[in-house]
Amino acid sequence: MYEQKKIIINGKLTEWNYLISRQEEIDKEIEELDHQMLGLRSVNFENTIKSTSVANRDSKLAELITAKEKLEAERKKVFIEYVSKEKELHIDELNDEQIRILKAVLNESSYSKAGKKIGYHRQSIYREMKKIYKILIKH
């Protein structure tokens, strides 16, 4: 029974971890769009003399704004999913260090690699993950 629950929890944790990385990707994309928009807004005076270049710039700016709005809507949707998954898993019952360990384990292929990444020995990671699973499985 414990192993079955652990498998289910692992699946949900993988989804939760994916949502974290998706949020980070969206934030980077939005940051890149902001950078591009800033570049378009700060065009020097010589380039604004030709009306076609102004129209092209305005058109490109409108495209960037539309793309940013879509990304912001997606970010909001992903955030809502993330919060829902976090509540479902009762992640809030873990302390910051346990969450740090959990994220490292989810992002690495082994406890050894996760331990090296955050400065723990493999056995310590294993013990902490047992505690984490006990907390998450009790719900």
Q: What is the pLDDT of residues 19-47, one digit of tens each?
A: 999 999 999 999 999 998 888 776 655 55
Least confident of 44-58, 60-74, 81-95: 44-58
pLDDT score, position 92: 92
pLDDT at residue 60, as a whole number: 87
pLDDT at 127: 95
Q: Look at residue 131 in the predicted model and tell me its pLDDT.
A: 94
Which parts of 42-121 fold into alpha helices (H)? 51-89, 96-107, 111-118
Residue 18 has pLDDT above 80, yes or no: yes
Nearest CA among 100, 94, 105 for reference residue 131: 94
In the chain, the percentage of residues whose pLDDT exceeds 70 is 91
What is the predicted pLDDT for the residue at 64?
92
- Cα–Cα distance, 21 to 100 (Å, whole number): 14
Predicted pLDDT at 138: 85
Exposed, middle or buried: residue 101 (CB in 10 Å: 0-12, 13-18, 19+)?
buried
Q: Which residue shows structure tokens 């570049």?
A: 39
Alpha-carbon span 139 to 130, nearest angstrom: 15
Among left, alpha and beta (phi > 0; psi -120 to 50; other), residue 4 is alpha
